[in-house]
Amino acid sequence: MMPALGGLLLIASSVLVTRRRWARMKGRSVNRGLLLLGLLLMGSCTLAQLPGEAWLGLAHFLPYFWLMAAQAELIDSPKQIQQTATIIALTIFPLVLIGFGELFLGWSSPAELAGILPWPPTAGGTPPGRMASVFGYANNLALYLNMALAMLLGLWGHDLWGKNTGDSEEAAASGAWLGDQPNIDEKVQIVGQTIQVGASATLSSDATPTALATITQGSVAEPWLSHWPRSRRLILWSLLIILCLAGLVLTQSRSAWGLAMLSGLAMAMYWGWTWLGAAVIGFAGSILWAAFGPFGKIPLRQVIPEFFWARLTDQNFGDRPIETLRITQWAFALDLSESRPLAGWGLRNFSHLYQDEMGIWMGHPHNLFLMLGAETGWFVTGGLLGLVGLIFYRGIEVIRLKNHLNTADCYLFFGILIAFLNTIFFHLFDIPLFDFRINALGWITVSQILGVVYLSDAGNLNLSRTEQFKAD
C-alpha cells in the first residue's frame, strides 16, 4: 500500500510540475533526447517479434523518462539532495529489521495480505537463506542497500566536514535554501523528494492533509534531525552504515559485495583517507585471494569465514544447468542483437525467444545493456547510455569545478553520484529495474544529478528559485 501511495504522489507531483514548467521542460536538450529515445522505442515495438509484449515493456521506460525530466525541475538547492538521501538512509532500519526477522525468526506476511503487500517477506528469505525483506528477492534489496550505503557515506562526509563551515553559516545557508514558509506553488516539491520510494516515507507533521498542493516543503526527517548536533548525526549515520553492511552481507549478493567495497574505496579516496582505502583494498583482496588465489589460499581460508569465499567461488551451486548460467544468457542475447542490430526483437521478447531455443523460461538475460541491445537494437541502447552518461559526466564536472557548491555539499553530491554508478554496475549482472521501486529510485537519482547540473549552469546552487518558480 505504501509503495503504491508513494508512486501516486510521485506521479501527482510530476504532473503538477509538468503543467507549470512545460515551456522550460520542452526546451531542455536532455528532454528532447529522451523524447527521441521514446519514439525510437515505440518504433522498435512495431517491428517486434511479439508486438504486444513489446508495448507492455514500454512501461519500464517511458514513464520514468518523464519522471526524471519533471523531478529534475524540482531541485532548488543541495538541501533537497540532503533530504532525499536522509529519507533513503532512514529506511534502512525497518528494511533490515524485517530482513533479520525473515531470516532468523521466520517472519512472513499472511497470505491474506498478499494484495496489500505485493512483495511480502518470506520466512527464510528469497532465495532461501538470503535476505530479501519486502523486496521479494535478495538482489533487489541488495541494490537498494548499495544505493543507500553510498548516500549514507555522502551524508557522513557532509556532516563531518560541514562542521568546518560553522553553525552560523549553516543556519544562514538553510535560510537561503528554504526561505520562509513556501507558497502553494512550492509545496508540491515534497512529493518528489520524500515519497519516491514509498516503503517507509511519511509526510511531514507540518503537512495539511486537505489537498496535495498543501503538502509542505521538507521531509519528516528534517524537523528533528536538523536540530541534532553534528556529532549525534554522525553517530546515527555510522550505526546505519553498520546495519546496511550487515544487510548487504546477508543478501549474499556478490555484485553487492563488490560494489560496497568500491563505494567505500571511492569515498575514502575522495575524502583523502588513503589509510582507509588501503584497508578496503586489503580486506577485499584477502577475500578474493582466499577464493581464487593460485597459491597460499588454504591458510587464508582458515581465517576468512567460508561464508564469503565459498559464495564467491559458487562452489555450493556447482550443478547448475548450463541454460541457467549467465554466460549462456549473455551469449544468446548477443546473438540476438547481432541478428537484428537496428530495431532489435522487441521489449520483453527475450524470455520467449530464450524459452523457444533453450526450453527453459528466463525472465531476462541478467545484463541490462545486452538485453536492451537484443530487444531494442544498439542504436537505442547507445543513445540511452550516452544520454545518461552525459548527465553523470556533467555531475562530475560540478564537483570538479565546484561551481557554487561548498565543500560539504560536494561530499554529499559525490555520494549521490556513487549511488548512480552502483545502479549502472549492478545492472551488468542482474536487472532489478523490473521492481518499480528500484526503477523509480534509480531515475530519481539521475534527476537529482541533472537538477544540480541545471542549477550549476544557472549559477544558483546556493540560491532559492522561489520567485522563479512562482513566475512560471
Find cell 527521441 and name the residue: 36
pLDDT confidence tier of residue 314, bands split at 50, 70 and 90? confident
The most confident of 140-149, 283-292, 402-411, by mean pLDDT: 140-149
Q: What's the average model confidence in pLDDT over 134-145? A: 95
pLDDT score, position 175: 36
Lowest pLDDT segment from 160-169, 284-293, 338-347, 366-375: 160-169
In this predicted structure, the answer to whether residue 211 has a pLDDT above a threshold of 60 is no
Per residue in 56-106, pLDDT (tens digit) is: 999 999 999 999 999 999 888 888 899 899 999 999 999 999 999 999 998
| Percentage of the chain modeled with pLDDT above 90 | 64
Q: What mean pLDDT is reported for the chain?
A: 83
pLDDT score, position 153: 97
Q: Which residues of 136-159 are buried (b: 16+ CB within 10 A; e: fewer)?
A: bbbbbbbbbbbbbbbbbbbbbbbb
pLDDT confidence tier of residue 206, bands split at 50, 70 and 90? very low
**Alpha helices (H) along 105-229:** 138-162, 167-178, 189-194, 222-225
How buried is residue 362: exposed, middle or buried, by Cβ count under 10 Å (0-12/13-18/19+)? Answer: middle
Q: What's the average model confidence in pLDDT over 259-287? A: 94
Stronger pLDDT, 417 or 311, i.e. the higher one:
417
pLDDT score, position 162: 73
Cis before residue 127, ω within 30 degrees of 0?
yes
Provide the 10 A C-beta neighbour count for residue 291: 20
Which of 259, 196, 245, 248 has its CA nearest to residue 422? 259
- What residue type is assigned to position 265 of the chain? L
pLDDT confidence tier of residue 120, bands split at 50, 70 and 90? confident
Q: Which residues contact 417 (CB under 8 A, 6 or more apart)?
A: 392, 395, 396, 399, 449
In this predicted structure, the answer to whether residue 462 has a pLDDT above a threshold of 90 is no
CA–CA gap between residue 403 and residue 230 (Å, rounded) = 25
CA–CA gap between residue 220 and residue 203 (Å, rounded) = 6
Stronger pLDDT, 118 or 307, i.e. the higher one:
307
In this predicted structure, the answer to whether residue 227 has a pLDDT above a threshold of 70 is yes
pLDDT score, position 226: 73
Which of 30, 38, 45, 10 has its CA nearest to residue 349? 45
Total residues found in the chain within this entry: 472
| Percentage of the chain modeled with pLDDT above 70 | 80
Q: Which residues contact 173 (CB under 8 A, 6 or more apart)?
A: 79, 165, 406, 462
Q: Three cell numbers at 144?
A: 537498494
Contact status, residue 153 vs residue 266, Cβ threshold 8 Å: no
pLDDT confidence tier of residue 215, bands split at 50, 70 and 90? very low
pLDDT score, position 439: 95
Contact status, residue 414 vs residue 157, Cβ threshold 8 Å: yes
Per residue in 246-255, pLDDT (tens digit) is: 999 999 999 9
In this predicted structure, the answer to whether residue 123 has a pLDDT above a threshold of 70 is yes
pLDDT score, position 388: 96
pLDDT confidence tier of residue 461, bands split at 50, 70 and 90? low
Q: Which residues contact 338 (CB under 8 A, 6 or more apart)?
A: none
In this predicted structure, the answer to whether residue 207 has a pLDDT above a threshold of 90 is no
